[in-house]
Structure 1
């Protein structure tokens, strides 16, 4: 799988947002239920060569909604975009590796970890709360977050989790989007600190990938947060394939 396919997926995925907007060579995905920059962001069309006016229009669409102008994309699929954004004042937030797994490479861990599909509102809320804790408070658990997880499961994606000992709450979980452009993104995988080191992350990763392969995806990809996470993913068959770039424009006066 090459960067163009990852970028085609990113475009299709943002077009699913409740309030998507096509802006020149970009697609912006907005969700009125949250102001999180990790939910509200844009991505370029593969091969896009945006003008300064295109970038200014994109920034205006974020500013008028009171949101941080922000993009996530595979730079190799749109080589001219980063230069145009940086000329407008955008700054690099992060560069992440992405890893890919195909059905023939998937390896299911042998550890006895029971992975479940959420069965109702209480389960979706428990997964959302566990992920909020797993990510160190980068976002707060909320009814809107639980509802987004439910929509993911009901729209052709998958949410999987492992219950905490005693059968109450969630020890760890994650989600994977519905397929687009032949692939799907596994995102938001996390385990509560008290339950780490027990194979939960690998078990949930394998269960999510398997579910999406069953739903027709020819590959599943995800981003690695570092060497420790990459080792977990490698145990289930994911291999490094490229990079994704995160850019944002924090200053209102950054576009000229």
Structure 2
């Protein structure tokens, strides 16, 4: 049983502006947003919460007017899921995650019919962070609205030891990009890999993913992990060295 990804989840939430620890859970809050995808909880590896612990966790969310929600790797804390189910938590999703190490990382191959190599760059100012926030919002089908707060979170990722990388669109702006958190517990999470529809099929996702993983390895990370949304994206990540690692469960409490 590997616990590095779950240990990372705990350390990552403890970086939030506001945190709460109780009953074997860590909760991370960001007062600039009510998004349940940013304000959520995770168990410490090996946690064995009681029903009272879960009730206390729910209260922490309720008193802030937020939906109780958790993200975690079930294998790292097998007693947690049954306790949450007893309290009425339902499944949002279960995703497999992939892991890359320095030994498996490879450079992406050439894209057929490409006219130029994909050039991956780091943001150099507010305009770049804003353009990336706008592009990722569009790439993910409008799941969130681009905002100054979103651009600021990207900047904080870069400034706090993580990395943000993107590919410029013709005439300026952003064609696609992604971000990677600062390493913790020897690993780092790569997320938000998105490409604008007009630029898909040109190797942007593979180039950005490979560059970010290499950047983290250069900073001492022993591995980088990510989740994928479909078989197409999985093949992209496997081509640059990501391999199956386990599953992560997303649950929330309605009402």
Please state how far the C-alpha of 1:194 moved relative to its aligned partner. Answer: 1.3
Please state how far the C-alpha of 1:64 moved relative to its aligned partner. Answer: 1.2
1:77-116 correspondence to structure 2 within 5 Å: 77-111=76-110, 112-116=117-121
Q: Select which of 241, 246, 251 maps to 1:242.
A: 246
Residue 34 (1) aligns with residue 39 (2): no
Provide, for residues 40-97 of structure 1, a one-character-per-residue CA deviation record: whole Å limited to 9, x for no partner. 1100000001111111111111111111110000000000000000100000000000
Q: Give runs of ≥4 in structure 1 deviating > 6 Å.
A: none
Unmatched 5+ residue regions in structure 2?
Answer: 111-116
User: How many residues are paired up?
Assistant: 249
Separation of aligned partners in 2, 1:233 and 1:153: 22
1:127 corresponding residue in structure 2: 132
Please state how far the C-alpha of 1:165 moved relative to its aligned partner. Answer: 1.3
How big is the alpha-carbon RMSD for the aligned residues of Structure 1 and Structure 2? 0.8
Q: Select which of 209, 223, 242 maps to 2:227.
A: 223
2:56 corresponding residue in structure 1: 57
1:176-215 correspondence to structure 2 within 5 Å: 176-215=180-219
Cα gap change, 1:248/1:3 in structure 2, threshold over 3 Å: closer, same or farther?
farther
TM-score, length of structure 1 as denominator length: 0.96
Unmatched 5+ residue regions in structure 1?
Answer: 252-256
TM-score, length of structure 2 as denominator length: 0.96
Provide, for residues 161-203 of structure 1, a one-character-per-residue CA deviation record: whole Å limited to 9, x for no partner. 001112x110000100000000000011111111111100000
2:158 corresponding residue in structure 1: 153
Residue 164 (1) aligns with residue 155 (2): no
Separation of aligned partners in 1, 2:136 and 2:65: 26
1:144 corresponding residue in structure 2: 149
Please state how far the C-alpha of 1:3 moved relative to its aligned partner. Answer: 3.3
